[in-house]
Structure 1
Amino acid sequence: MISETAAQTARHARVAAGLAELERWLGDQVRLGLGQAGDRDWDDLVKRLVDAQAPGAAGLVARLERVRAAAGWPGALLSEYALLNLLAVAYRRRAELPPALARTVLTRVGFTTSRAEVLAEPHVRDRWLVLGVRDEPLDHVTARRVWLRGQATGRPALILTFTPAAHPMDETPPPGSTLEAALAFYPAAAPLRALIAGPDGEEPPEFARPGIPAPGPHGTFPAPDAVAGLDLHEDSSVPGRRVREDFGAVSVAAALEEVAGALAADPWTDAWPLLLDAVVPGRADLGGLPLHPACHDPWRLIAVSGGGPVTVAAEWTPRGLRPLTVWDDDARPVPL
């Protein structure tokens, strides 16, 4: 019987060979020109990376087809190639990296962290604001992202679950609600994904799905128009508007610094939650920051704002912001 150490060594050998092939392939693409690769080339490379037990890298290659189909694809495709090459090099030199970054590299390549390992991490107890919920259809499953922000810590968090495509999604806390809970974050250079832990350090047994609580003793979900304990005050610089301070809504400049810090720690970050203060939405931007192409003409957001500044929770992505929730003049959250 192969020991765990031997199995890990064998897997690392397979992954190293697969990523070495990826490096050679990327070099060929840059030398021959960005227009040389076709869908079949990417499909074949994805299959070889999966065979090499590097599913994370395979997923990054799989999205290249969507990148090339979008407007302005040459620059975007070159950026994706650069991130893939960086991942391959970082994996090869992981022994030289700080432990947290080395762990991030392994995760991005496709090595998993068990739930027991995550729950063994130090817990962060706070009152968490649900910034928004977004569902993303993937192959045969739907990924649900529940974005949180801590009141005392100001930390962002992501509760990520996967549901088979044919199954109904489980109940989740509505945007604008709050949750008293302890979170255990997956180890990473820029910790973001987390699990909700019970008082005994284990995941609460009555949770309907891993990481997503049902109403019960471990957390309550007040109605979106009844968020308890949020202090609102008049902002003299924004006449007639009330802004939310308890959960650390920030300016656009501060939000950009937050994203820059996340990218400096983890260059492969592809989403980060923001709570923006006093931003004016437009048809293609939010407070001057570009919207994701799929989110242009956000008429619901514009209608709630009335053309004035509002507090907005949004998901940052390299292609632009995805608005999640806006708070109206009466501090009521409106999901977008």
Structure 2
Amino acid sequence: MSARWSADSVLSLAPDDSSRRAAATLARPVPWNGTGTAGDLVWGLCAGSGKNPYQVIVDLTGPAYKCSCPSRKFPCKHALGLLLLWSDGAVPDQADSPGYASAWLESRQERAERTTTPPSRTDAAASATAADSQGAAGQKAESAARRAAERAQRVTDGLADLREWLRDQVRAGLAGSGTPGGRAGAANLMATRMVDAQAPGVAGALRALAGTAGDGPGRLLAEYALLHLLIRAHERLDELPEGLAATVRSRVGYPVRTEEVLARPAVADRWLVLATRELTDAAVPGRRIWLRGRATNRWAMLLTFADPNGTWQDPATARLRPGTEIPADLHYYPGQPALRAVIGARHGDPVRAGQALPADDGAALLAQWAAALEQDPWATTWPVVVTGTPVPSGGGQRWQLADGTGLAFPLTDRDSLWTLLAVSGGRPVTVAGEWHPNGLVALTTWHGEQAVTL
């Protein structure tokens, strides 16, 4: 049986501050029924807005989570609330788990066994395989090359259709497509065509056009121009410098296997974990983690996604939390500027890091963003560590982060800024987050040497 965790350990698993607050309201017996724990399994039924209670299960060894609620956050507030109850000793020990919990645990174990147990082979079969390995390897390489060529042709054909669609939008005028309904409907139809053409990156850019509603035709025309630039770049893919060609392929949506990335040169450092961002809008929930090397001062972005069975594809990466650092080798994906990476060899466990690296001012932030756009014109996100004071604007309805030179950046995309305001107390604070064309998303701040997730 696992030792009870502290409440702080449970809350550190929360994807954001609103999840922590919601979990605290569920950490009481009233909404729960049929709770129990046996071995490394914790379960319970939580009353929700529907007729049937949510079935909530946690496997402490992952940890891994399963909840029947519709939330796309991972773990959801119900799983966190159940863990808070369990950590407080309010979940009774049971001899057996209920059917829904046992079935989920068994399915997880079966998948793990299929992944780790290789099929048995007779000596004769092994000898035959060894004899035919060279021919099979050649056939596999030829097949892979053929599939790659077929995909490239499908992408090329799809982008040609997109080019004609963009021309039609401009010829017809932006008035109709500038309305939210007209824009979303036409763009979503073309996004479906891009999925068929195996260009998921372009499909995502088209679906994002609906989010530009209210920004006027200038913003829409700028997005159309970037798509047209991507099409032209793809047409000249073989003529582009290696780094830019890799960026174009990434923006279109060509896949890169992890094995290929791990074969690239390693960058060893003590990597500070500065911020995390939950990705709940995509088809598969994910988590974006921002690191910065102490010695190299290089940024790195890690991505991990949730499996349908309630676990992270890379649990060790998903458990990284702001305010820690890890000695490790990172391998960067091809592209410019080099940003997305995967962890290779780990040279120790994550430890508390204390204060972040020295922060930039607003001018340095804008210079870094300009340099990033020079290398990747389609970039929409850039990591930042900046010092400033939260100040109100727009009659107190909006907030900005003002640095010591007078530059101020709008704070966007947060449910609440009360945590940041409380830590600041009207004084300058260091903030780590993401810079987007419409402003700064604050993800982490520091109270002394304590990282505070926003």
TM-score by length of 2: 0.61
Corresponding residue for 1:152?
295
Whether 2:20 is the aligned partner of 1:20: answer no
Aligned residues: CA RMSD: 2.1
CA distances 1:215-249 after superposition (whole Å, capped 9, x unpaired): xx6432234xxx25x6xxxxxxxxxxxxx5xx242
198, 204, 208: which one aligns with 1:53: 198
Q: Is the 8 A contact 1:154 1:248 kept in 2?
A: no
SS at match of 2:272: strand
Deviation at 1:74, TM superposition (A): 2.8
Q: Unpaired segments of 5 or more residues in structure 2?
A: 1-138, 393-398
Q: What is the number of equivalent residue pairs in this alignment?
A: 295
Instruction: Tell me the TM-score normalized by structure 1.
Output: 0.82
The 1-side partners of 2:431 and 2:412 are apart by 18
Describe the superposition over 1:177-223 as per-residue Cα deviations: whole angstroms up to 9, x where unpaired. 1111110000101111100001xxxxxxxxxxxxxxxxxx6432234
State the match for 2:427 in structure 1. 308
256-265 or 281-290, larger mean C-alpha shift: 281-290
Find 2:445's aligned residue among 323, 326, 330.
326
Does residue 253 of structure 1 match 2:253?
no
- Select the structure of larger CA radius of gyration: 2
Amino acid paired to 1:173: L
Q: Which secondary structure does the structure 2 equivalent of 1:281 belong to?
A: strand
Quickly say closer, same or farther: Cα 1:61–1:104, change in 2 above 3 A: same
Question: Retained in 2: the 8 A contact 1:125–1:181?
Answer: yes
- Give the superposition deviation at 1:76: 2.6
2:25 corresponds in structure 1 to none
| Residue in structure 1 matched with residue 212 of structure 2 by the alignment | 67
Offset of 1:93 from its aligned partner?
Answer: 1.4
**Are 1:133 and 2:252 matched, yes or no?**
no
Change (3 A) 1:66 1:292: farther
Q: Give the counterpart letter for 1:220 in structure 2.
A: D
- The corresponding residue for 1:194 is 341
Change in 2 beyond 3 A, CA 1:3/1:80: same
Task: Give the unaligned 5+ runs of structure 1.
Answer: 199-216, 231-243
The 3-state SS of whatever aligns with 2:291 is strand
Contact 1:18 1:48 in 2 (8 A): yes
Quote the residue 1:185 is aligned against.
Answer: 332
1:250-303 Cα deviation digits (max 9, x unpaired)? 1211111111111110111111111113x1122421124433542386222122
Q: Distance in 2 between matches of 1:53 and 1:98?
A: 23
Q: Higher relative contact order at CA 8 Å, sep ≥6: structure 1 or structure 2?
A: 1
Matched, 1:95 2:238: yes
Deviations 1:21-66 (A, max 9, x none): 1111112212222232323322221111111121111111111122
Q: Which structure has more helix as a fraction of its residues? A: 2
1:274 corresponding residue in structure 2:
384
Q: Which amino acid aligns with 2:338?
A: P
**Cα distance change, pair 307–76 in 1 and its aligned pair in 2 (3 A):** same
**What residue in structure 2 maps to residue 202 of structure 1?**
none
Q: In the alignment, what sits opposite 2:87?
A: none
Deviation at 1:126, TM superposition (A): 0.8
Contact 2:277–2:288 (8 Å) recurs in 1: yes
Aligned to 1:204: none
Local SS of the residue matching 1:26: helix
Contact 1:179 1:219 in 2 (8 A): yes
